Amino acid sequence: MFKKILLAAAVLVSAASAIEFGPHVGGNMTTMYGDDAENVTAGVGFNAGAAVKVAFKDSPISIVPEVLIDMRNSGSDKDDNYSMTEWALEIPVMVRCELMGLFYFEAGPSFNFNLATSTETKVLGKEVSDDIDSDLLNTFEFGLSFGVGTNIISMLDIDFRVNLGITDFYAEQKVLGKTVQADAANLQFALGVSIWLL
């Protein structure tokens, strides 16, 4: 499998007419969707990492893989003093189609890994933090990302994306001999900037 991935990457690079590298940074708002996510509210976070843009000669299509560290914050409308923070490693692979050399649409899969998740509450005016047991969460999350952007400024891409988690956030649990699965997955809106330095 690994050899096939390397072969596909080699074919992709050999067909490319230009390859650019640079940092990617952005801000986000994260919440959840699903039958068990009705009380989850959106919180503000950020992401940062690196991106590669592989362009093809005489084609409006390019491939843009990224490796990002993403901080996702959310809350609860039942308790204003409660918040949850997830740190995740995100690897989106975006397929981009440019229009008139100024704007682009993009979409692709995202492979995400939950690195750490904690909650924070206020008790008698004091903030109390607690790490969530990793056994309660799905460590791997498969998602879909899609959005629009502009490269009207040379060496700078600005994009707005919707990141939709397909995998449930919480892992299956055994309760009284029965398997229980919470229906809740991540939903994120992100505004990002890529600066092509190389």
pLDDT tens for 78-124 read 877 788 999 999 999 999 999 877 899 999 999 999 999 998 887 66
Architecture of domain 17-195: Beta Barrel (2.40)
Domain locations in the chain as residue ranges: 17-195
Give per-residue pLDDT as tens, 122-135.
766 677 778 888 88
CA distance 59 to 18: 11
pLDDT at 43 over 60: yes
pLDDT of residue 125: 66
pTM of the full structure = 0.84
For the ranges 13-17, 73-77, 85-89, 171-175, the lowest mean pLDDT is seen at 13-17
**31: which residues sit within 8 A by CB, 6+ positions away?**
37, 40, 41, 42, 43, 74, 186, 187, 188
Closest Cα partner for 194 from 17, 28, 64? 64
* Backbone φ and ψ of 125, nearest 5°: 85, -5
Whether residue 28 contacts residue 7, with contact meaning beta carbons closer than 8 Å, is answered with no
Looking at residue 65, what is its pLDDT?
96
pLDDT recorded at residue 74: 93
